[in-house]
Structure 1
């Protein structure tokens, strides 16, 4: 589990649909069949957020929308779901496209670039504007990116090792983790305090971002939203930063690595971008329905290399699952990576085949086996946003550049709390002579005159919706 976790997980279906494993002194169960996974995810009263993963996450995120118990989830979700409803996310297309252009504006033909770092910076800037408008300057965005990287690396070991004493030792890795958590909290608290000060000053400009929605709820001025405590505001913002940055950047890094190894899939992607964008620098909202192959590349990347690859639940009462009696407090694990790579669910599971997901194709796998965003009432509330961000960013970057893997061995996938390449270096090859101007920071059409991103108004818009740790 520590040395070769992906191979270990893929070996478990041969032992049954529900397999007992040991994590040090703890006994845990791994669910290997998609029907059982959905049975568990639908029954949130019995299989609640818990286990070592969420015990550790609560120390960082508090009882936020990701970590809160079943009884609190509906209230927590209502606090933050509005900007991420599917009917809203197309409004972010311009912002995402501009930030993707900025991510590659300094690339040159033949240059080797750290694609992972560039994409992590891009997704940090996108989510910081959605959450805070223009409240984070470029230097602070970079600091947030570095803090999140240290936190994600440290969380994996804390998920699998139940001994708290190990993480109290003053090792370099433990110090990095504690310092990153403390700095991230300081940055978020500073943004909250600054927004409150500016809201009381003359000429204050109302903001349509997640922070403002939470502050309105904290003042009981949320127009029907549930009341939020001061701790709610802090915890939700930390949670959305952590969950909204690295997962999308890792998906995009994996996509470019997979495309470089699969030239036919890359050729089809480029042909679609040339036809749909017709030389434009980035897609518009109306282009999204026509980027069919581009979206299929993202979907197949999420199947092949899901950033969220391992999750835990804890039983709240004695229960029976797959004929096995689980006592109250049992830890149950499920892995999207395991389900996505089971040959009983997907033919040739290790092959990268975006055409699996094209319209008109037969269902690509066993029903319910594809769960990159979980399922049930605790399904990721940002799934539509993440798909739009990945699709627009992939279209923008691949429209400008073909990225090649340099000769030699590629980076081995080493899972942390998320899965994907963290040091992906690739060589830039321009696809065409682009004449469209690349915007400078702050010049995005999606920004208002005061510099704030015009996000959808959450109160009025409609819709439904262990490497070095």
Structure 2
């Protein structure tokens, strides 16, 4: 490790290092492909800023929270690129992949859809869909909680976006397409040369068909809503009526299409995986589950939870936050330097890939003592104040922070409270959690047995 001076903060000398295990031509690509979570979590031990090789290219992983903040809070220097360009195949020029003034313009247009009164209104659909889903559960029945949560969250996302006019068969078809496309985007991202995606393989043809069909489903919903002119109070209505606060200009159908597809991905894939991880952790830690049940019983007194109840469910929210720490949906992301700059005391040329990883931050023992331990009390009272600024990064930071973070946390807490008020979920003996790092971090199959409370 080589100490290097930095102006932020001036009292700290940054340390830089190089990731071990690079091989000729491939660099660390095989490590990132074979065991990405373990590899990333190991890198903070080598410095605050660690050089990695992606094939012939040099990249850097920002391992210290302040360096990550520097990257995320300065989008003019640390620009989106690389993997985000791959994601445009699915997400178009939506908020999650747009840059610069275009991103600022879109965010101002869309932000009202995520104001607190709107989020409170969306939760009615969340509660209804959750109660309907668990209404068919039976004592002793074994569920794949991962698949169950993905099915539920696809319905929740569809209802939040469209509220009416989309039937169960179309929702299931959209979910099927979304899984194919999401997996395809990840594979294309991990193949930076872009050769395989251009070949007419069965997998590429399946990807193209799923992508086209998903966008067709959404486009038909937008066109129908435009024709009817009805305001259903859902996200689609909000987007169709959005106007820039200065110019008064609205979004055209293509722009609305890109945003809706993005919200379907973010609103179903990431939240569903988080819920599956939460229920797995509760099942594996009965003492934590007991406290969650006690809190829910005390606050709800036998009724169904509402948006207004969520601030009182402090321990339950701590469980969710700790799950996000252990299993962050966005496990790795990147920026590209738009100009030569300094980071961690190193001069970094323009066009350099800068990686940052919630996985590396969240499992760093210098930031979180005993990082592999599931400990919801990290987020309660004075202990929560001890967490270093920027150490928890499940939704990003800065102007590109996930616009739906509050909605995602609200949905997660409401669904956990609704299910946990009626059911326990017990892991099937012999089940091993094997997180799958794809476009987002997924839990893989998680069979659990329903047990009524």
TM-score for both structures, normalised by structure 1 = 0.86
Q: 1:14-413 alignment to 2 at 5 Å?
A: 14-51=45-82, 53-199=83-229, 205-217=230-242, 226-280=249-303, 282-413=304-435
Displacement after TM superposition at 1:364 (Å): 4.6
Change in Cα spacing, 1:420 to 1:225, as seen in structure 2 (3 Å) is: farther
Displacement after TM superposition at 1:221 (Å): 9.5
Change in Cα spacing, 1:210 to 1:79, as seen in structure 2 (3 Å) is: farther
Displacement after TM superposition at 1:74 (Å): 1.4
Q: Deviations over 1:13-51 (max 9, x none)?
A: 122111121223333211111000001111110011112
Q: Deviations over 1:411-442 (max 9, x none)?
A: 411210111213221111111xxxxxxxxxxx
Change in Cα spacing, 1:183 to 1:320, as seen in structure 2 (3 Å) is: same
Change in Cα spacing, 1:327 to 1:133, as seen in structure 2 (3 Å) is: same
Change in Cα spacing, 1:285 to 1:224, as seen in structure 2 (3 Å) is: farther
Q: Tell me, yes or no, if the aligned pair for 2:434 and 2:444 is still in contact at 8 Å.
A: no
Displacement after TM superposition at 1:208 (Å): 2.2
Q: Tell me, yes or no, if the aligned pair for 1:21 and 1:30 is still in contact at 8 Å.
A: yes
State the structure with bigger RCO (CA 8 A, min sep 6), 1 or 2: 1
| SS of match in other structure, 2:335 | strand
Displacement after TM superposition at 1:311 (Å): 0.7
| SS of match in other structure, 2:96 | coil
TM-score for both structures, normalised by structure 2 = 0.89
Cα distance in 2, alignment partners of residues 298 and 176 from structure 1: 35
Q: Tell me, yes or no, if the aligned pair for 1:96 and 1:126 is still in contact at 8 Å.
A: yes
Cα distance in 2, alignment partners of residues 422 and 55 from structure 1: 27
Displacement after TM superposition at 1:129 (Å): 1.8
Where structure 2 has 5 or more consecutive residues not aligned to the other structure, the ranges are 1-31
Where structure 1 has 5 or more consecutive residues not aligned to the other structure, the ranges are 200-204, 432-469
Q: Tell me, yes or no, if the aligned pair for 1:23 and 1:160 is still in contact at 8 Å.
A: no
